[in-house]
Amino acid sequence: MPDTRLRPQIVTGVIVRAVVILFLSRRGSLNALEQTKPSRFWTRWLGQALPSADSIGRVCSLMDVDHVRALVHHVYSRLKRMKALEPPGHGLMLAVVDGHETTASRKRCCPGCCQRVLHTQQGDVVEYYHRYAVLRLVGGDLSLMLDAEPVRPGEDELAASRRLLERALEMYPRAFDVVAGDALYANTEWFRFITGQGKQALAVLKDNRPHLVEDARTLFEVLPASVDLDAGRVRLRYWDSDRFTSWPDLAPQVRVVRSLEIRTVRRQLDKQEEDIASDWMWVTTLTSSQASTRAVVNMGHERWSIENQGFNELVNRWHADHVYKHQPTALLVFFLFALLCLNVFMAFYRRNLKPAARHGVSMLHVAQLIAAELYSAIPDGPAWAPI
């Protein structure tokens, strides 16, 4: 029997507007959104009633993913034109790439699910999961989540990240200068690919390149710190050399920067002071004329922003990992909408709200006001009282 329900191209505009509100009001599920259906807000916003949870999920599973990516790009372009996306003090725009697993299940799977075998006490169990390579653009005080690409069944994160960067280089050719990643990205093919596109690469240096790590540790033991700051209870020491020859597949000599940060804290239990050290090394194709030691350290630490202000925020505040519909396209579409709404919200919070309005008002409070708008337009009735 033919499917006579509305085709996605007819209703996409309505669904896009509905899903944007789903995330901006942080309802967390399509059923929770559906409970706001009697709100007069929807006829004002959509020009019609809110479609059912089932319709929203179905249309998202048929939606053109590039359409959603174009919306993300549109927000970026507007901010760029308005000069709202300025680089940090060192002048270089950074793109951070990282993997993020959105869902895992031992029972439910779809054609887009990756799978792994878990060794449990009850025997081996197959677990199905979805993982994305995600790109974040790091600016001075405003950063944007740019794009996401699914890791396909049977492939690794680097393969998905390469597709992600190839698309990003087409859509955002001048948006960033440097691409940073964790230790997984200290990879010869990856570094060659990035530099081949006219960009610079930076990655955490850990035991995945053991010879380079060993050489760096040995040299930095005897080399004096190039920058040595004592800022009260924080002591920062940096080492920097571009003479390392232990990654010959990439280049005759590569640059490694080490940062040792020692913070003195007072233990709550016995009030004794204790030094906590944070020791990091990065390998980069940036030359010292392109980026100072401190700039490399700053960019290295900014890599964490995709975890802290990106994934953590998306998962804990925006319900981005919720399975709104377990179907490959729908999962990606909802995740991209979460990125889009986070960008819009952050741009609004940082650029539209006056400092006086922001003072003493958390981002969560602003999000609650958006949700309150939905509920306040619901005619009185016990069946529709907000939970």
Question: Could you tell me the smallest distance in angstroms from the CB atom of residue 26 to Zn ion?
Answer: 24
What are the Cα distances from residue 310, in Å, to 16, 161, 162, 307? 22, 17, 20, 5
Question: Could you tell me the smallest distance in angstroms from the CB atom of residue 28 to Zn ion?
Answer: 20
For 309, residues 6+ apart whose C-beta sits below 8 A from its C-beta are 143
Would you count residue 56 as binding Zn ion (CB under 5 A)? no
Question: Could you tell me the smallest distance in angstroms from the CB atom of residue 129 to Zn ion?
Answer: 8
Q: Determine the interface stretch with Zn ion among 113-121, 141-149, 280-288, 345-353 (rule: CB under 5 A).
A: 113-121
Q: Determine the interface stretch with Zn ion among 111-119, 189-197, 213-221, 345-353 (rule: CB under 5 A).
A: 111-119
Tokens of 227: 């920058």
Name which of 11 and 113 has its Cβ closer to Zn ion.
Answer: 113
Q: Using an 8 Å Cβ cutoff, are 234 and 277 in contact? A: no
Would you count residue 113 as binding Zn ion (CB under 5 A)? yes
How many residues in the shown chain lie near Zn ion by CB under 5 A?
A: 2
Would you count residue 110 as binding Zn ion (CB under 5 A)? yes
Q: Determine the interface stretch with Zn ion among 86-94, 109-117, 204-212, 270-278 (rule: CB under 5 A).
A: 109-117
Q: Using an 8 Å Cβ cutoff, are 176 and 94 in contact? A: yes
Name which of 290 and 329 has its Cβ closer to Zn ion.
Answer: 329
CA atoms within 13 A on the CB side of 246: 18
Q: Which residue has the tokens 């019609």?
A: 48
- Provide the 8-state DSSP code for 361: -
Question: Could you tell me the smallest distance in angstroms from the CB atom of residue 327 to Zn ion?
Answer: 8
For 280, residues 6+ apart whose C-beta sits below 8 A from its C-beta are 204, 258, 259, 297, 300, 301
Name which of 53 and 113 has its Cβ closer to Zn ion.
Answer: 113
Q: Using an 8 Å Cβ cutoff, are 34 and 53 in contact? A: yes
Question: Could you tell me the smallest distance in angstroms from the CB atom of residue 333 to Zn ion?
Answer: 14
Would you count residue 151 as binding Zn ion (CB under 5 A)? no
Residues within window 236-265 making contact with Zn ion, judged by CB under 5 A: none
Q: Determine the interface stretch with Zn ion among 67-75, 112-120, 170-178, 185-193 (rule: CB under 5 A).
A: 112-120
Name which of 113 and 250 has its Cβ closer to Zn ion.
Answer: 113
Question: Could you tell me the smallest distance in angstroms from the CB atom of residue 236 to Zn ion?
Answer: 45
Q: Quick one: angle between helices 53-62 and 328-347, nearest 10?
A: 100
Cα–Cα distance measured from residue 30 to residue 194, given in angstroms and rounded to the nearest whole number: 39
The residues pairing with 93 across neighbouring beta strands, listed in sequence order, are none
Name which of 85 and 133 has its Cβ closer to Zn ion.
Answer: 133
Q: Determine the interface stretch with Zn ion among 7-15, 108-116, 204-212, 379-387 (rule: CB under 5 A).
A: 108-116
Name which of 113 and 306 has its Cβ closer to Zn ion.
Answer: 113
- 3-class DSSP state of 39: coil
Name which of 110 and 370 has its Cβ closer to Zn ion.
Answer: 110
Q: Using an 8 Å Cβ cutoff, are 152 and 368 in contact? A: no
Name which of 113 and 291 has its Cβ closer to Zn ion.
Answer: 113
What are the Cα distances from residue 104, in Å, to 34, 119, 235? 25, 15, 41
Q: Using an 8 Å Cβ cutoff, are 204 and 186 in contact? A: yes
Question: Could you tell me the smallest distance in angstroms from the CB atom of residue 62 to Zn ion?
Answer: 16
Residues within window 272-331 making contact with Zn ion, judged by CB under 5 A: none
Q: Using an 8 Å Cβ cutoff, are 106 and 141 in contact? A: no
Residues that bind Zn ion (CB under 5 A): 110, 113
